[in-house]
A and B are shown apart, each in its own frame.
Chain A
Amino acid sequence: KQEVTQIPAALSVPEGENLVLNCSFTDSAIYNLQWFRQDPGKGLTSLLLIQSSQREQTSGRLNASLDKSSGRSTLYIAASQPGDSATYLCAVASYNTDKLIFGTGTRLQVFP
């Protein structure tokens, strides 16, 4: 049974810092891994999608890596800004099923 864990659960940093959020999963047989952002009271915004055959994806100040064999993904946020404050969720789609298994998220606060 696939399980997804995110560390840390919460993070508070000053503006400008580079951050690393961690996601680990127990079953390496995955289709893909998605990183989402959720603002309070809002829906999920997809940030990056990494297919199982890929090692990383980049979008602006965000970079996500995937090491399928070790069951790990990291989301790197460069030069953090207060507007990056949100909860970040990772989710994996296991092989032969389309459903996403979510981690509990990392709550990020970036202060000026």
Chain B
Amino acid sequence: DIQMTQSPSTLSASVGDRVTITCRASESVSNWLAWYQQKPGKVPKLLIHKTSSLENGVPSRFSGSGSGTEFTLTISSLQPDDFATYYCQQYNSYSLTFGGGTKVDIK
């Protein structure tokens, strides 16, 4: 199975900060990489698919980049609604796998 490693596991930031989360795959997943946001007690929400394609309604401050084995999720200016846990997921091959998550909390 492809292992997905996210870093950092926890990130403390302030409103307005630029935030970058990294996701590394143990082997190439091409550009078949998605990002999700999950708030406590809520269902995960798909933010980005195919590395960099934003879902409808997702604010443009979110962006994704990368290819192969290294990917990033960037929030250009962190907003109060963005404090949450973020997961990457590869869908290049089964078993589909998620990263361990990055919790973004208030500094």
- A and B, one complex? no
Chain B contact residues, CB within 8 Å of chain A: none
